[in-house]
Structure 1
Amino acid sequence: MKQQSGVSTRGIGFELEQLRRDAELTLQNVATALGVSISTVSRLENGKREATPEEVSAILAVLGVIGPTRTRLLDRARGGDGSGLVEAANPTVQSRTYLNFETRASVITDFELMLIPGLAQTPEYAHAIISAIQVDEGEPTIEVRVGRRMARQAILARSTPPAVNLILTEAALRLPIGGPKVMARQLRHLTDLCERPNTSVRVIPSTVAGHAGLLGQFVILDFPADRPVVHVEDRTTGLFLDDPALVALYRLTVEKLTTVALDEAGSVELMSSIAREFTASEEELR
């Protein structure tokens, strides 16, 4: 049986591909400079073969990549068997790694405990969230981070978009992030997304006091020809997992969450009702 590539190996390859595109070089350009075949470079970029530190160093030299990016990728290439990846939660680096996986996924299953998932956020809601959680003045500006989050949503408008399954809690829908007007608009946006054939939103009602997702949010990313990846994030760490046993545990969690969630019609009805409540509240404040 063919050995599938590890999540770290795939992450390195995807980033090398993006760096090559940024440098406006073709596979042929890189292969010629290295004295190898195009298929060799392609397999490294696709994560089909683990790149040695020497190969990564050579490719980065051809691409003219220096400084922190070069150091980080070489450190990752020296990191071991490629079966998992832990990254410091740097808003630039980690979002790039996650984006590389997200843009290639055919199915995205996102459970959020207290927030609306990024792929479903409106600009106003995203701005309010990022404003609240950003504590490091050295991070990219709020506007830059909002722009990046909105850019991610372009995958939903592709000719063949991924299937997106969102599981939320009623508590997340009722948390007045940004105020009533922002929340009313956000909830209406969620109900609009439900009209898309590739998007599903399921809400766990507040009557369900305990459920399998209480430990926090996670995303399962499925791919047409590679192992699925689970992404778990907190303030300081981003964890990418593709061990089959661990992925199976998160899938079981999704099954249990889906069991206690409202069906799609009930979820839309609840979201619409809460949106009306926020609208009424906003009108009272005028």
Structure 2
Amino acid sequence: MQPDEVTFSNPVLAFCFDACKHRKERNMSLPKAGVTTRGIGFELERLRTKAQLTLQDVGKGLGVSASTISRLENGKRQPTPEEVSAMLAVIGVIGPERNRLLDRARGGDGSGLVEASNPTVQSRTYLNFETRATVITDFELMLIPGLAQTPEYAYAIISAIQVDEEESSIEVRVGRRMARQAILARRRPPELNLILTEAALRLPIGGPGVMTRQLRHLVDLAGRANTTIRVIPADVVGHAGLLGQFVILDFANDKPVVHVEDRTTGLFLDEPARVALYRLTVEKLAAVALDEEDSVRLMKSIAREFDGE
């Protein structure tokens, strides 16, 4: 018997994996692994862990090896809808969550992912990418990036932009944002490259005291070996970032991903041409930004101005 041959008796699961087997026998090409694939894998891993099942448990239920399940969860190849359906059946996932994941598995070639109607899944997908990244390059037009925010600055920002949430929900969001910063304290933290505008540094979010402490926190971050902060000065009135913020996430063994977000939609891109366009944008922004030393000098100066108010 082959390692990945199905041996379970459940007729639904047998049908699902039999369909996948015949597809391979007919030499039908499976979709390339991409950002959608990795997002599906993150969700499958989360649901399996939530069900307190091991890779071996799911593999046994499907009659395949644990390494096969691991490859699907790690996004090494895109799972077919039949495979996703079978895995969800073993894990015990039904209802809307099952339908959502199956829709994503049927949704295309794996090269892009938009979570327009489910901000919770969008945030979870981004967090999974962020925690795995080895290099994070974040450009922000009017705000301080989340990984560099103090709790009180984060609270002021979230209170302002989350127009439909209660106080308790805002506090939960702040806690989650602060928890994300744990990656910066790892033994091998990611390389963090931040590009900000002077306008963002001068916007008095939360008041002078909040901004003074936020700016001093940025100065402290800039002193870390793994972090660079570059500021685009106010006299550069036109630059390549005027369309808004974005993040480029690089990985040790996977393709880079670009994340672009607005109020209701998060867009994840990994097509080489699009990623290259965002890298070129970073180059253009870096060309007009102050160097690291002058950026720190400017942040200290603005902090003193706020502190003196």
Aligned match of 1:174: 202
Aligned to 1:211: 239
Match of 1:127 in 2: 155
Counterpart pick for 1:258 among 276, 286, 289: 286
Q: Deviations over 1:208-253 (max 9, x none)?
A: 1110000100000001111100000111211100000110000000
User: Residues 154 and 34 from structure 1, CA distance in 2 versus in 1: closer, same or farther, beyond 3 angstroms?
Assistant: same
2:190 to 129, 153, 162: 162
Q: Are the aligned partners of 2:32 and 2:110 in contact in 1 as well (CA < 8 Å)?
A: no
Indicate which of 160, 175, 185 corresponds to 1:147. Answer: 175
Aligned counterpart, 2:140: 112
Does structure 1 residue 77 correspond to structure 2 residue 105?
Answer: yes
Q: Secondary structure at the match of 2:132?
A: coil
Residues 194, 229 of structure 2: 8 Å contact kept: yes
Does the 8 Å CA contact 1:201/1:264 hold for their aligned counterparts? yes
Residue 139 of structure 1 and its aligned partner are, at CA, apart by 11
CA distance in 2, matches of 1:14, 1:277: 45
Q: What CA distance in whole angstroms lies between the structure 1 residues aligned with 2:209 and 2:167?
A: 28
Aligned to 2:91: 63
Gaps of 5+ in 2: 1-30
Report the Cα distance in structure 1 between the residues aligned to 2:179 and 2:88, rounded to whole angstroms. Answer: 27
- CA shift in 2, pair 1:277/1:166, >3 Å: same
Counterpart in the other structure of 2:17:
none
Q: Partner residue of 2:267?
A: 239
The size of the alignment, in residue pairs, is 279
Structure 1 residue aligned with 2:10: none
1:35 alignment partner AA: G
Contact 2:259–2:266 under 8 Å retained in 1? yes
State the AA in 2 paired with 1:170. E
Query: Match of 1:172, as an amino acid?
Result: A
* Equivalent-residue separation in structure 2 for 1:239 and 1:139 (angstroms): 28
What residue number does 1:284 align with? none
Q: Quote the Cα distance in structure 2 between the aligned partners of 1:195 and 1:212.
A: 27
Equivalent AA in structure 2 for residue 200 of structure 1 = T
In structure 2, the CA distance between the partners of 1:138 and 1:132, relative to structure 1 (3 Å rule), is: closer
* SS across alignment from 1:92: helix
Contact kept? 1:91, 1:140, Cα under 8 Å: no
| Alignment deviations for residues 101-141 of structure 1 (CA, whole Å, 9 cap, x no partner) | 11111100000000000000011011100000012248981
**TM-score, normalised via structure 1 length:** 0.94
Separation (CA, whole Å) in 2 of partners of 1:137 and 1:16: 29
Shift of 1:147: 0.8
Task: From 3, 14, 23, give the equivalent of 2:42.
Answer: 14
- Aligned to 1:26, which of 48, 51, 54? 54
Change (3 A) 1:137 1:12: same
